[in-house]
Amino acid sequence: MNLILTLTGFILAILVNLFFPQVAEGVKLKSYTIGGFAIDDNLAYRLVLLAIALYYGIYRLVLFVKKANQEKIDKFGSRAKFRFAIGIALALWDLLGTKLLVLPQPFFPGPAVIMDAFLGDMAFIWKNTLYSLRLFLSGFVTGVVVGIATGVLIGWYPRVRYWITPVLNISGVIPAVAWMPFALTLFPTSFSAATFLIAICSWFPVATMTAEGVQSTPKAQFEVARTFGAGQFYQVFHVAIPHAMPRIFTGITTAAAFSFTTLVMAEMMGQPGGLGYYINTSKVWSAYYKVFAAIIVMAVLFTVILKAVDAVQNYVLRWQKGVVR
């Protein structure tokens, strides 16, 4: 029943696009030849909706074949009403933004019009997506590594805590974009300057949570380690850091969100590429359907990043299964 409800919303969106006539005039829907097949914007939109419906259908079938536990099945079913609402919202958006042209144009194009950006500009979108991913990873990974190292030093050494904690607290309340004029002056390229900004906003939450995790390690664990002859190095890397891992990953997840926001801002303020740059160039020509396309790509990219972080966290903290709910 939950699967039927999920599929119904997207099928209704397909039927609305397929059978509701194009009432409003002036809507430019283009056609392209891809792999020998003629595909227009409406057909591309319907194929995307069909792909989403097939994904949910196949996913539910996999759960059934693998005899997944009831928790996973319930989790899938709990979002059925939301997915149905998404399908209805897409159908209404298609009606108001394309078929009837009720929404103010060109600021709110319909979903079929947005598909034109992917059909006609896919190579450029892909190029900018890879640029954004490269810039994000260079800053985010740097910030996480330096943040963990800083947090361990703060949490383990009182003298380091005395000098670094005030700096950490002050830098944490300053938006990363505020450092941009200094970054552009200090670093030789705009890419390295943006990397610095992303690293700064990643560094603060990771360092803070790591320090808290190290400091909160029970003294009894250190005493047991010392009883068995463990030195300081062993205590840090085999007792303090493992105990701090849940908090470290909390900081990393927070840092990912901050970093992605800073990434887009940095790209919109001087980068020669990236999704933020793509949005800027599209706005200049009032191609707002391309702006929506970039926003969709950003949402997908950030979701993939969070899934990757979550997968690493589940692997590293696999010992928590059955211990923590």
> pLDDT value at position 27?
84
Domain final position from 35, 68, 103:
103
Query: Based on the number of CB atoms within 10 Å of its own CB, is 262 exposed (0-12), middle (13-18) or buried (19 or more)?
Result: buried
Are 126 and 229 found together in one domain? yes
Contact 129, 297 (CB under 8 A): yes
Q: Which two tokens stand for residue 212?
A: 């808290």
Are 170 and 60 found together in one domain? no
| Residue 111 binned pLDDT confidence (cut-offs 50, 70, 90) | very high
Q: What is the mean pLDDT of residues 29-43?
A: 88
Percent of the chain topping pLDDT 90: 62
> pLDDT value at position 70?
73
Are 290 and 146 found together in one domain? yes
Q: Which two tokens stand for residue 300?
A: 């997908």
> pLDDT value at position 212?
93
Instruction: Flag whether 116 is in a domain.
Output: no
For 170-216, the pLDDT digits (tens) are: 887 788 778 888 888 889 888 999 999 999 999 999 999 999 999 99
> pLDDT value at position 227?
86
Q: What is the mean pLDDT of residues 116-131?
A: 94
Instruction: Flag whether 110 is in a domain.
Output: no
Instruction: Flag whether 41 is in a domain.
Output: yes
CA atoms within 13 A on the CB side of 325: 1
Instruction: Flag whether 168 is in a domain.
Output: yes
Task: Give this prediction's pTM.
Answer: 0.89
* Helices assigned H by DSSP within the chain: 2-19, 41-65, 70-78, 80-94, 111-156, 158-172, 180-186, 190-215, 219-227, 232-235, 241-268, 275-284, 288-316
Across the chain, mean pLDDT equals 90
For 50-83, the pLDDT digits (tens) are: 999 999 999 888 887 877 677 777 777 888 899 9
Are 77 and 186 found together in one domain? no
Are 47 and 137 found together in one domain? no
Are 97 and 221 found together in one domain? no
Instruction: Flag whether 78 is in a domain.
Output: yes
> pLDDT value at position 321?
66
Q: Which domain holds residue 179?
A: 122-320
> pLDDT value at position 73?
76
Are 200 and 155 found together in one domain? yes
> pLDDT value at position 206?
96
Domain final position from 70, 103, 136:
103
Are 129 and 209 found together in one domain? yes
User: Which amino acid makes up residue 69?
Assistant: N
Residue 270 main-chain phi, psi, to 5 deg: 135, -5
| Residue 322 binned pLDDT confidence (cut-offs 50, 70, 90) | low
Are 282 and 178 found together in one domain? yes
Instruction: Flag whether 90 is in a domain.
Output: yes
Q: Is the pLDDT of residue 245 over 90?
A: yes
Q: Is the pLDDT of residue 270 over 70?
A: yes
> pLDDT value at position 173?
79
CATH of residue 193's domain is: 1.10.3720.10
| Residue 309 binned pLDDT confidence (cut-offs 50, 70, 90) | very high
Among 192-206, 215-229, 290-304, 310-324, the least confident range: 310-324
Are 79 and 174 found together in one domain? no
Instruction: Flag whether 113 is in a domain.
Output: no
Domain final position from 103, 134, 154:
103
Instruction: Flag whether 76 is in a domain.
Output: yes
Are 275 and 143 found together in one domain? yes
Q: How many domains does the chain have?
A: 2
Are 177 and 208 found together in one domain? yes
